[in-house]
Structures are given as structure tokens and as C-alpha cells.
């Protein structure tokens, strides 16, 4: 059995372990932030009322430098209004398009902040870019828990599993929670395609295998996108689909698309893309677990913009 076959077999086994007739179906609520085209999620066990928050957003206006908590406050109101207990704040990866609100939400709601163990690779790369000092630990210690591929945890009585899906970055995780799958920035709605793979540590071939691993999950599994940008000829935002719909119709990676064909398409497409609008502020905050820089002697916090370096 090849490594690719083993990964697909493992994904199928994880899917079987996360499904049970005796297990409640998780309730998923998406919160769409149109400013960054990001969808944050609250997923919870309807019986135990235990919840996880996935990929939260801190409002940020780059023109003024102002931050806000409107998007995160909507999550707090939802959680408190339904009497949920937050046990996890999950990050699928170090986002390049929005700042994470996880530390602020954690202060209000509790829970453990978790990300891939390979966060250290991202911290090393971007710690150098931003010339982070010796006070910036590159060991992932800004997070409460670092997750390995296949690590499992419980959300009430619902089994959840972290799946390594590198390619967009070397530290991407997908989360399988019951019949719900949160793929982060690996794949988008079927009519929009797949994520870019040209960031430092990104790799189109690894992304292809990560996506095929996800598509080995049951066809009926619900798939919740991290982003939506509206595909051509589509007027409304959408962020929920199924594994089966992706296998049948994803414009970049439906069944029958081979690795070389995908890599050629993805590489050519990535060459045409500009840098994400918030990549520089986002990464230097998110690699620190969503924590803003400490105030300087005048009481003001500052973000760095490296010139002629990216």
C-alpha cells in the first residue's frame, strides 16, 4: 500500500469512527464575515450542549488600524443564548486573510485553543520575516494544545478527529466532528474550486493529496467551507456542501482529475493571484495565537510592515 493509499484508508476509518447511530448529529451555525469572506462556526452537541468555535474573526480596518469585536460578539450572543459551554477554540491554520479573535473569545467563554503541531514551521518562517525577537517563542506555546494528524477528542458525546491536510500551508488541519467536516483552506464550494498553494511552505501536490484524502470521507458528510467568494454567475454566498457534491462537480478537483493536471492548473492560477489584502497583519498576529503585540512605551500597539521583502 502506498502512502497515499494509507492516508485514504485512514480517512475512511476516521469517518467510520466519527459516525454512530447512537451519536447525536452536531448542530452547526456559520457566521459569515463579508469583509474577509470568512465563515466562522459554532458546532455543538445538542444533548450535552458542549461547543467548539472554529476560525473566529477579529474585525480589523487596515486603513485606520482599528480593531473591533462585532463579529466575535455575535458568536458570544449565540453561545450564551443557547446555553452552550465552549470547550474548544479550533484554528484550521494560520490565516492570511483575517485576524483571529480566539484569545478574546477564550477570555469571555473559556475553552482550549488548538492548532496543528506544525504551527512551529510557520512560526519559524514568518518569525524571520517579521524579525520577531527572542521573546517570540517558535514552539507553539501560544496555543493550549497542538494537534497531530489523527488526534481525537470529544465534543460532548460526539467524536471529533483532526486530519492533517497540508498544501495551502504546511500546518493545515481539517476537523471531522460527527458527520460535519471543516476543511479550512483546502477546498471551496464546488463551483469555485480549491485554495492557493503558493504561500511559503505551500505545495500543490500535497494539496491535491490532502483534498483526495478529504474526498475519501462518506459522500453524505456535510462540508463547511472556511471561505466563499461567489463563483461566476452566482449571486449569493454559500458555504455548505457535501463530499459527494465535491467529488461530482468541484471545478478543480472532481473525480477524474489527476495529480499532474491539478498541479498544472493550480500553479498557473496561483501565478495570477495577488497577495491577500490582510496577509501581513494577519500572519504576525495569528502566528502568536491571535494575540496582538504588546503595547510599547507610549501605550500603543504596533504591527510591522516589511518593505520590499515579500
pLDDT at 19: 56
Residue 306 lies in a domain: no
β pairing state of 85-90 and 50-54: parallel
- Whole-model pTM? 0.93
Rounded to 5°, the CA angle 218-91-122 comes to 110
Reply yes or no on whether the pLDDT at 15 is more than 90: no
pLDDT of amino acid 89:
98
Contacts of 70 (CB under 8 A, 6+ apart): 59
Report whether pLDDT(11) > 90.
no
pLDDT digits (tens, 9 = 90+) for 257-282: 999 999 999 999 999 999 999 999 99
Whether 200 is in a domain gets the answer yes
Position 16 pLDDT exceeds 80? no
Query: Could you tell me if residue 175 is inside a domain?
Result: yes
Angle at 242 between CA 32 and CA 70, to 5 degrees: 10
- Would you say residue 171 has pLDDT above 50? yes
Query: How many other C-beta atoms can be found within 10 angstroms of the C-beta atom of residue 51?
Result: 28
Buried b (16+ CB within 10 A) or exposed e, 175-206: bbbbbbbbbbbbbbbbbbbbbbbebebbbbeb
Number of domains composing the chain: 1
- Domain containing 41: what range? 3-286
Residue 1: per-residue pLDDT: 45
Cα(133)–Cα(141) distance, integer angstroms: 15
User: What number of CA atoms fall less than 13 Å from residue 242's CA on the CB side?
Assistant: 8
CATH of the domain at 109: 3.60.15.10
For residue 115, the model assigns a pLDDT of 98
DSSP character string of 10-25: HHHHHHHHT--TTSPP
Whole-number pLDDT of residue 135:
80
Asked whether residue 304 is assigned to any structural domain, the reply reads: no
Q: What percent of the chain has pLDDT over 90?
A: 89
299 located within any domain: no
Grid cell locating 102: 480566539
pLDDT at residue 93 in the model: 97
Q: What is the largest CA-CA distance in the chain?
A: 61
Average pLDDT over residues 169-192: 97
* Residue 295: inside a domain: no
Q: Identify whether 297 is part of a domain.
A: no
> For 127-154, what is each residue's pLDDT tens digit?
999 998 778 899 999 999 999 999 999 9
Which residues lie closer than 8 Å to 269 by C-beta, 6 or more apart? 196
* Residue 307 within any structural domain of the chain: no
Amino acid at each position: 500500500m502506498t502512502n497515499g493509499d494509507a492516508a485514504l484508508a485512514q480517512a475512511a476509518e476516521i469517518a467510520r469512527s466519527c459516525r454512530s447511530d447512537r451519536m447525536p448529529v452536531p448542530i452547526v451555525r456559520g457566521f459569515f464575515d463579508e469583509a474577509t469572506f470568512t465563515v466562522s462556526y459554532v458546532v455543538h452537541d445538542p444533548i450535552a450542549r458542549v461547543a467548539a468555535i472554529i476560525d473566529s474573526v477579529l474585525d480589523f480596518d487596515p486603513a485606520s488600524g482599528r480593531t473591533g469585536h462585532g463579529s466575535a460578539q455575535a458568536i458570544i450572543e449565540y453561545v450564551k443564548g443557547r446555553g452552550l459551554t465552549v470547550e474548544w477554540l479550533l484554528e484550521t491554520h494560520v490565516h492570511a486573510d483575517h485576524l483571529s479573535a480566539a484569545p478574546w473569545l477564550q477570555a469571555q467563554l473559556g475553552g482550549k485553543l488548538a492548532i496543528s503541531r506544525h504551527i512551529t514551521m510557520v512560526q519559524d518562517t514568518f518569525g524571520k520575516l517579521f524579525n520577531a525577537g527572542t521573546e517570540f517563542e517558535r514552539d507553539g506555546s501560544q496555543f493550549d494544545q497542538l494537534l497531530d494528524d489523527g488526534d481525537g477528542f470529544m465534543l460532548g458525546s460526539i467524536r471529533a478527529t483532526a486530519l492533517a491536510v497540508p498544501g495551502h500551508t504546511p500546518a493545515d488541519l481539517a476537523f471531522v466532528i460527527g458527520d460535519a467536516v471543516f476543511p479550512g483552506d483546502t477546498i471551496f464550494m464546488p463551483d469555485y474550486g480549491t485554495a492557493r498553494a503558493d504561500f511559503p511552505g505551500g505545495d500543490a501536490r500535497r494539496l491535491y493529496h490532502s483534498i483526495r484524502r478529504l474526498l475519501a470521507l462518506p459522500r453524505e458528510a456535510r462540508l463547511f467551507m472556511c471561505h466563499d467568494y461567489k463563483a461566476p454567475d452566482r449571486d449569493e454566498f454559500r458555504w455548505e456542501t457535501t463530499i459527494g457534491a465535491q467529488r461530482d462537480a468541484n471545478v478543480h478537483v472532481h473525480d477524474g482529475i489527476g495529480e499532474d493536471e491539478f498541479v498544472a492548473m493550480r500553479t498557473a492560477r496561483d501565478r495570477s493571484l495577488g497577495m491577500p489584502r490582510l496577509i501581513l497583519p494577519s500572519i504576525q498576529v495569528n502566528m502568536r495565537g491571535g494575540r496582538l503585540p504588546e503595547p510599547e512605551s507610549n501605550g500603543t500597539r504596533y504591527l510591522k510592515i516589511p518593505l520590499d521583502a515579500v
